[in-house]
């Protein structure tokens, strides 16, 4: 299992939110590229970068900060936030991003998702962001009419190779992962063919959580606030799995 540090960007800085609430922000680095180098030096093989402003506004906002991250490190960068058209997806991939993550677009524009999967095979993942089992979009500000289970079935039918499941109520809380919800989602994935890879995010705050997640069979775990506060040491987490 991979342990992937999260770098969330708002206003050009590296921040963490609590439960996606833009009013509950903590700044951890003025330069996201500095944070990227820190996690690279600690052994990270991949980084999970989110343009928070882009997610809320529906367009790329922190392009320059993302570009600095890509230029600063020689590890894979997967990027989400504000990716709502093929031109933006192509621009980021050609700019050195390894993998893009579609969230709102995957829910509201399945034709775009299908086109992206065809044009950029292996480089597109889908964010399944859920609150109480219901998918949320637009930077987690709007609840959709789709459940996580329904979305997973639809994504499997489209041939989506990889999803990133986030329990938004646990994100940034330093509590614990929602293991029951994750197990239910993994059961839905298995019922849909068992070939889709799953990464988990939300509430991971200890090495014990990392070890527990490794036993579930997820491909990776994304860790944010716990790395910045020191509750999890990245080197130890990587060694644990």
The model's pLDDT over 186-225, given as tens digits with 9 standing for 90+, comes to: 999 998 877 899 999 999 999 999 999 999 999 999 999 9
Active-site residue, 129 included = yes
Phi, psi of 161 (to 5 degrees): -80, -20
Q: pTM for the whole thing?
A: 0.93
- CATH number for 34: 3.20.20.70
pLDDT given at position 20: 75
- Are 163 and 128 in contact by the 8 Å Cβ rule? The answer is yes
Which residue positions in the chain have pLDDT lower than 70? 138-142
Residue 141 DSSP code: T
pLDDT score of 107: 85
51 is an active site residue = no
Residue 45 per-residue DSSP state: S
Give me the number of domains the chain comprises.
1
Cβ(105)–Cβ(141) below 8 Å: no
Find the helix or strand (DSSP H, E) in which 194 lies. none
The whole domain housing 91 covers 2-240
Check 8, 51, 53, 171 and give the catalytic one.
8
Q: Per the residue annotation, which of 2, 30, 51, 129 is the catalytic one?
A: 129
């Amino acid at each position: 299992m991979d342990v992937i540090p999260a770098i969330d960007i708002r206003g050009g800085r590296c921040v963490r939110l609590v439960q996606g609430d833009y009013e509950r922000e903590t700044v951890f680095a003025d330069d996201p590229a500095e944070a990227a180098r820190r996690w690279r030096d600690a052994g990270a093989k991949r980084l999970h970068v989110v343009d928070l402003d882009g997610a809320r506004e529906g367009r790329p906002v922190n392009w320059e900060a993302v570009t600095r991250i890509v230029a600063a490190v020689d590890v894979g960068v997967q990027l989400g936030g504000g990716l709502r058209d093929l031109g933006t997806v192509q621009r980021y991939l050609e700019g050195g991003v390894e993998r893009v993550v579609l969230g709102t677009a995957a829910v509201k524009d399945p034709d775009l998702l299908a086109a992206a999967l065809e044009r950029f095979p292996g480089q597109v993942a889908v964010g399944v962001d859920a609150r109480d089992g219901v998918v949320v979009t637009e930077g987690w500000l709007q609840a959709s009419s789709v459940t996580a289970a329904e979305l997973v079935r639809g994504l499997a039918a489209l041939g989506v190779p990889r999803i990133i499941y986030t329990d938004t109520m646990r994100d940034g809380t330093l509590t614990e992962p929602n293991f029951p919800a994750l197990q239910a989602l993994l059961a839905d994935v298995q019922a849909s063919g068992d070939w889709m890879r799953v990464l988990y995010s939300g509430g991971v705050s200890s090495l014990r959580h990392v070890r527990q997640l490794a036993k579930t069979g997820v491909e990776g775990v994304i860790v944010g606030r716990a790395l910045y506060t020191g509750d999890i040491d990245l080197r130890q987490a990587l060694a644990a799995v």
